[in-house]
Amino acid sequence: MSTQPVDAAASNDIFSSTFLMGNVGAPFVIGLAVGYFAKKMLRTVLFLGGAAIVLLFVAEYYDVISITDAKLQEVASAATEAAKSSGGMLVQRLTGITSKGVSGVGGFFVGFKLG
């Protein structure tokens, strides 16, 4: 059985590059990518949802269908709740990447802002 000496100073040094990349850098980059993707997908879904609503309005104008304001607001509320729950799920998952979860969530919000 071979034993290798453990560098106790490097494992306890919070400013070492090994510690920072593993606990701050990589989770931040993962959060950044997820936040950027989430923002782009949200914009795409809003674009497609807006196009669908405009098509519904056009169909209503030509008496093809009838839309009530209450039903339209009900669908919009349901879509908003779905977006909130999926965003919350992403943030919750990112908090589990590191022990503190701060760098992953911070990267998510930076990525969301950049997206």
Sign of torsion over alpha carbons 78, 80, 82, 85:
negative
Domain ranges of the chain: 35-114
Using CA atoms in the order 56, 59, 64, 66, what is the torsion angle rounded to 10 degrees? 40
Share of the chain above pLDDT 70, in %: 76
- Would you state the structure tokens that stand for residue 99, as one six-digit string? 């022990």
66: left (phi over 0), alpha (psi -120 to 50) or beta: beta
Computed over every residue of the chain, the mean pLDDT equals 81
pTM of the model: 0.68
